[in-house]
């Protein structure tokens, strides 16, 4: 189904209306005279604006060039026709890549022979001039000097004198010759395959065209369909006979996938414009491609990436409600596809394939962001003005050491995206990873500067992810999961052991800060890991120390009232663990450890609320115990 959907996309967006040509960046245009004299090498580069402080990126102009051949299994692909890199065109090395003179002569002869064949068959003046230039360079390789900033993968094309807006490979006779060379070989009775995409008869199965710009893949591209080892073959088939696909179908599928992965793929109907972006890079080796089967779904696809990326500039007002957990009124039944790929070992690895409808995906995303909704401890301002939802990239960074999401395994990435799109339970392994990273970074939550700020952002994202995992587990298995679903803000009536102990930890930390403002290490820095896993061995000691902190805090008249309120909350929370019933639990399982982190996160926010925030919270929680009602009208 993946290949059929890609093939349909190629047809719908007119990507293969002219299948013998394809868009590629051509860095250099060589102008030549009628006698093959070089008249100059012109660069096509322009500066592409980049965000932030990064320098603008230098990119080559896109041209439609003869489709580059892929060759056959075990046989190296021939060079491109009339458009190639410096090694094939001239046999010359570039500053970034050297090779032997013998290799250069071999590659350039291969390229030159193909152009010569075209010139002899068409008698085209432009093709003849190119052959003359190539022969002159072959005879004396020092007669041509490459541009200093030329790179080994830069493509060269030719322009005949007098042709202002026409390259040699676009001259009518040359173009017709190339199309004739590309005509499919007539099918014979010996054909033994049926194309998996179109159902047509297939003879010898060639190599699948390489996929470019896939994270983790090689610059030359990776194959989506490839059987290059005996271990990948079965039932006696050799090479790509294991997955027979006709050449036309393979090229359409590869073109569609290259279009999805390229953020600036040229629009065949308007060459000066780019098609809308349809992919999002999630890590160093994983990206998700998405598209709709019909034009009616394009509007949703145009904002889908922005929703996952948390980019408010690309999300239209109709869809902003998704960030707040509210599904927009979309009834579009057109099919929606998402393909998560990783580049590895010279091939594209399919992490996940998702099929649904536009309307269902919009609803599932609203559920996803609703489950992630949680109060944030990161202070607003200082450039932090995020939308209501957490971007996928931020969630992944929260699970990696110091936010380096390149260290996140590819299956973590694909599973998170899959849960968001399907509305299914989040992988339990995400909870384990989030708990581990919280313990590792808890000591840096009070750090200042950029590092401290980013740590707080990751802390908020981890808490949101823990909440989402636990709540969906509760919804899926309510009879087994014996805890209350966690609300976005602090719930004083949530009696789960882990949640209550996490809240108690936050209050003990605040008491210490009131008593010893200049303490080098807080109780959280020293005891959080132990308290969240084996609370009985830790909290007895912490409560004893808290008595001293309360006494010291009450001695300060400016803090006495606040410390008194905190002391009442400590008593209320500690009283939930009856000493006659073993008091504090000896151990907490992983679910309760996640609840411990949520209780601490939400209580910490509650303790540092502004007056306006506290009044609003009290209005939203009229059933809260008296210890939590601090407004003047309720004292």
- Asked if pLDDT for residue 355 goes beyond 70, the answer is yes
Q: Name the E strands within 222-346.
A: 266-267, 270-274, 279-281, 286-292, 335-344
pLDDT at 431: 95
The domain locations on the chain are 20-181, 295-342+353-481, 496-635
The average confidence (pLDDT) of the chain is 87
Residue 458 contacts residue 397 (beta carbons within 8 Å): yes
pLDDT of residue 189: 47
Mean pLDDT, range 172-189, rounded to an integer? 79
Average pLDDT of span 149-164: 92
pLDDT given at position 188: 47
Of 322, 315, 260, which is closest to residue 291 (Cα–Cα)?
260
**Encoded tokens for 157:** 């094309």
Q: What is the mean pLDDT of residues 195-203?
A: 80
| Cα separation values, 426 from 365, 469, 476, Å | 13, 5, 11
User: What's the whole-number mean pLDDT along residues 523-528?
Assistant: 91
Coil, helix or strand at residue 476:
helix
> So what's the pLDDT on residue 635?
46
Buried/exposed 451-480: b ≥16 CB within 10 Å, e otherwise:
eebbbbbbbbbbbbbbbbbbbbbbeeeeee
pLDDT for residue 634: 46
Confidence check: pLDDT of 217 > 90:
no
pLDDT: is 632 or 188 the higher one? 632
* Residue 96, C-beta contacts closer than 8 angstroms, at least 6 positions apart: 151, 152
pLDDT of 225 higher than 60 = yes
- What is the 3-class SS of 390-458, one letter each residue? CCHHHHHHHCCHHHCHHHCCHHHHHHHHHHHHHCCCCCHHHHHHHHHHHHHHHHHCCCCHHHHHHHHHH
Cα 520 to the center of its chain, rounded Å: 39
Average pLDDT, stretch 293-308?
92
What pLDDT band is residue 240 in, cutting at 50, 70 and 90? low
The 3-state secondary structure of 205-256 reads CCCCCCECCCCCCCCCCEECCCCCCHHHCCCCCCHHHHCCCCHHHHHHHHHH
Q: Are 620 and 614 in contact (CB under 8 A)?
A: no
**Range in 197-206, 379-388, 579-588 with the lowest mean pLDDT:** 379-388
Check if the beta carbon of residue 308 is closer than 8 Å to that of residue 392: yes
Residue 23 half-sphere exposure, CB side, CA atoms within 13 Å? 24
| Residues 6+ positions from 633 with CB-CB distance below 8 Å | none
Q: How confident is the model at residue 346 (pLDDT cuts 50, 70, 90)?
A: confident
Band of pLDDT at residue 226, cut at 50, 70 and 90: confident
Q: What is the pLDDT of residue 206?
A: 67
Mean pLDDT of 509-532: 88
User: Rounded to whole angstroms, how far apart are CA atoms 224 and 187?
Assistant: 25
Q: Residue 182 contacts by C-beta under 8 Å, 6 or more apart in sequence?
A: 19, 20, 67
Percentage, residues of the chain above pLDDT 90: 55
Alpha-carbon distance values, 108 to 19, 117, 141, 403 (Å)? 26, 14, 11, 47
**Rg (alpha carbons) of the chain, rounded to whole number:** 32
Q: DSSP string spanning 544-566?
A: HHHHHHHHHHHTSTTTHHHHHHH
- Higher pLDDT, residue 515 or 443: 515
Question: What tens digit of pLDDT does each residue of 458-488 get?
Answer: 999 999 999 999 999 999 888 888 899 999 9
CA distance 573 to 222: 58
Mean pLDDT of 184-211: 70
Q: Render pLDDT for 96-138 as a digit per residue (tens, 0 to 9).
A: 888 898 999 999 999 999 999 999 999 999 999 999 999 999 9
Enter the DSSP assignment of 489: S
CA 364, 421, 283, 280 dihedral sign is negative
Q: Coil, strand or helix: which one is 540?
A: helix
Report pLDDT for 454.
Answer: 84
Beta-bridge partner residues of 43: 28
CA contacts within 13 A on the Cβ side of 611: 3
Q: Among 470, 160, 458, 217, which Cα is nearest to 348's?
A: 217
């Amino acid at each position: 189904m993946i290949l059929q959907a890609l093939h349909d996309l190629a047809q719908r967006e007119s990507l293969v209306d002219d299948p013998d040509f394809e868009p590629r960046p051509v860095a250099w245009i060589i102008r030549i005279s009628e006698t093959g004299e070089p008249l100059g090498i012109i660069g096509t580069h322009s500066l592409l604006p980049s965000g932030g402080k990064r320098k603008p990126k230098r990119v080559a102009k896109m041209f439609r060039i003869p489709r580059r051949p892929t060759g056959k299994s075990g046989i190296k692909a021939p060079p491109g026709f009339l458009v190639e890199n410096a090694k094939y065109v001239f046999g010359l090395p570039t500053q970034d890549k050297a090779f032997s003179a013998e290799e250069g002569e071999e590659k350039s002869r291969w390229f030159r022979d193909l152009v010569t064949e075209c010139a002899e068959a068409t008698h085209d003046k432009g093709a003849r001039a190119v052959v003359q230039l190539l022969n002159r360079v072959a005879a004396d390789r020092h007669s041509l000097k490459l541009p200093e900033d030329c790179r080994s993968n830069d493509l060269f094309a030719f322009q005949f004198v007098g042709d202002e807006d026409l390259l040699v490979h676009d001259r009518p006779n040359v173009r017709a010759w190339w199309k004739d060379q590309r005509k499919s070989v007539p099918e014979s009775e010996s054909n033994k395959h049926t194309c998996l995409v179109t159902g047509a008869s297939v003879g010898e199965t060639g190599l699948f065209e390489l996929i470019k710009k896939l994270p983790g893949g090689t610059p030359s591209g990776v194959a989506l369909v490839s059987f290059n080892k005996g271990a990948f073959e079965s039932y006696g088939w050799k090479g790509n006979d294991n997955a027979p696909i006709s050449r036309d179908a393979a090229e359409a599928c590869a073109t569609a996938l290259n279009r999805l992965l390229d953020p600036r793929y040229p629009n065949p109907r308007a060459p000066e414009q780019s098609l809308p972006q349809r992919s999002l890079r999630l890590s160093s080796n994983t990206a998700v491609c998405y598209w709709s089967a019909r034009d009616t779904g394009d509007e949703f696809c145009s904002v889908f990436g922005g929703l996952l990326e948390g980019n408010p500039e690309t999300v239209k007002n109709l869809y902003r409600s998704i960030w707040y957990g509210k599904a927009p009124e979309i009834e579009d039944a057109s099919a929606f596809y998402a393909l998560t790929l990783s580049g590895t070992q010279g091939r594209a690895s399919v992490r996940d394939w998702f099929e649904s409808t536009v309307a269902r995906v919009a609803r599932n995303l609203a559920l996803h962001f609703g489950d992630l909704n949680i109060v944030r401890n990161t202070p607003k301002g200082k450039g932090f003005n995020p939308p209501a939802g957490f971007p996928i990239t931020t969630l992944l960074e929260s699970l990696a050491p110091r936010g380096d999401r390149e260290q996140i395994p590819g299956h973590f990435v694909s599973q998170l995206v899959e849960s968001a799109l399907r509305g299914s339970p989040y992988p339990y392994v995400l909870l384990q990873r989030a708990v581990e990273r919280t313990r590792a970074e808890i000591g840096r939550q009070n750090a200042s500067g950029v590092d401290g700020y980013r740590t707080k952002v990751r802390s908020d994202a981890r808490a949101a992810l823990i909440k989402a995992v636990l709540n969906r587990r509760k919804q899926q298995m309510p009879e087994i999961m014996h805890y209350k679903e966690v609300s976005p803000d602090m719930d004083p009536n949530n009696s789960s052991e882990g949640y209550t102990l996490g809240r108690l930890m936050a209050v003990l930390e605040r008491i210490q800060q009131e008593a010893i403002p200049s303490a080098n290490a807080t109780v959280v820095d020293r005891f959080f890991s132990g308290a969240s896993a084996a609370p009985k061995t830790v909290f007895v000691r912490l409560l004893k120390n808290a008595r001293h902190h309360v006494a010291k805090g009450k001695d300060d008249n400016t803090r006495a009232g606040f410390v008194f309120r905190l002391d009442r909350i400590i008593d209320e929370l500690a009283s939930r663990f009856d000493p006659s019933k073993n008091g504090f639990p000896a151990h907490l399982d992983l679910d309760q450890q996640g609840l411990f982190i949520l209780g601490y996160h939400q209580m910490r926010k509650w303790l540092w609320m502004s007056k306006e925030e506290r009044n609003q919270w009290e209005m939203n929680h009229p059933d809260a115990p008296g210890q939590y009602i601090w407004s003047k009208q309720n004292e």
